């Protein structure tokens, strides 16, 4: 990954931050995308290598297109896009507000689509690149209190598989990552501390993602499932 340009959405914390740290150590230039500039700046200041930050809401097509265009104009290319930005609101369906529903669909699904669409044109010009979609195990198995969250993640799964078919004849590779629960801000509310201790560390998941996606040089799609013992 040395010399590669890696774009990570939701890079201000959790798995996005862990991936940024590891790609930076490998010598990549890391482009940190997120909604909170201060969080991105904090992550950028801790990286070993070069980085740049882009304050953007992935559910805004104009914002995403502008960010990707700026990245290519400054760095010359996009080698890897990690669609990591996501939000989860875990309540029964009746308890979810219109805002809750729209937020999960817009960020988890629409944001993934917008970022992929914006990056693809640049990757196609080079006939190379990786797109890594962080889906979660909820994109394979639905649970109570995760109706809309699971709907958004099942949507990302279907989107990933369809794009894989579209890109079969190209040098662009698509990876879908289905991981179990991690110790991230997604669980700031409503999770017992004892249960939280059983969740996976973002650094461990990031290591598995990078090691597996580096090895799959001849695959256009990789279903990477990372589960903890509770999943």
Q: Bridge-partner residues for 32, per DSSP? A: 8, 53
Measuring CA to CA, how many Å separate 116 from each of 60, 80, 82, 128, 208? Answer: 13, 10, 9, 14, 22
Q: Where are the beta strands (DSSP E) in 153-196?
A: 172-179
Neighbours of 143 (CB within 10 A): 11
User: Which residue is it, tokens 């529903």?
Assistant: 101
Which is the catalytic residue, given 54, 149, 178, 220? Answer: 149
Cα torsion 132, 11, 179, 149: sign: negative
Neighbours of 155 (CB within 10 A): 18
DSSP for 106-131, written as a single string: IIIIIHHHHHHHHHHHHHHHHT-EEE
- 23 tagged catalytic: no
Contacting residues for 20 by C-beta, under 8 A, at least 6 apart: 8, 11, 30, 32, 43, 47, 51
Say if CB 8 and CB 33 are below 8 A apart.
yes
User: Which residue is it, tokens 């290319």?
Assistant: 77
Q: Catalytic residue numbers?
A: 149
């Amino acid at each position: 990954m040395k010399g590669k340009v890696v774009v990570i959405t939701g890079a201000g914390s959790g798995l996005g931050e862990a991936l940024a740290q590891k790609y930076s150590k490998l010598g990549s230039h890391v482009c940190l995308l997120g909604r909170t500039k201060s969080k991105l700046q904090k992550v950028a200041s801790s990286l070993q290598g070069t980085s740049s930050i882009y304050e953007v809401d992935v559910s805004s097509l104009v914002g995403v297109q502008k960010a990707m265009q700026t990245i290519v104009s400054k760095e010359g290319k996009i080698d890897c896009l990690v669609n990591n930005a996501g939000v989860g609101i875990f309540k029964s369906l009746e308890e979810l507000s219109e805002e809750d529903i729209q937020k999960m669909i817009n960020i988890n699904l629409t944001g993934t689509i917008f970022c992929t669409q914006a990056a693809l044109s640049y990757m196609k010009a080079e006939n190379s690149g990786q797109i890594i979609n962080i889906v979660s195990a909820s994109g394979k198995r639905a649970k109570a209190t995760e109706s809309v969250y699971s709907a958004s993640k099942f949507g990302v799964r279907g989107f990933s598989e369809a794009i894989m078919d579209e890109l079969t004849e190209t040098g662009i590779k698509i990876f879908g990552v289905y991981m179990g629960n991690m110790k991230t801000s997604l669980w700031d509310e409503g999770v017992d501390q004892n249960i939280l201790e059983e969740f996976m560390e973002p650094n461990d998941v990031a290591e598995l993602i990078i090691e597996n996606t580096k090895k799959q040089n001849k695959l256009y799609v990789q279903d990477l499932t990372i589960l903890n013992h509770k999943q």
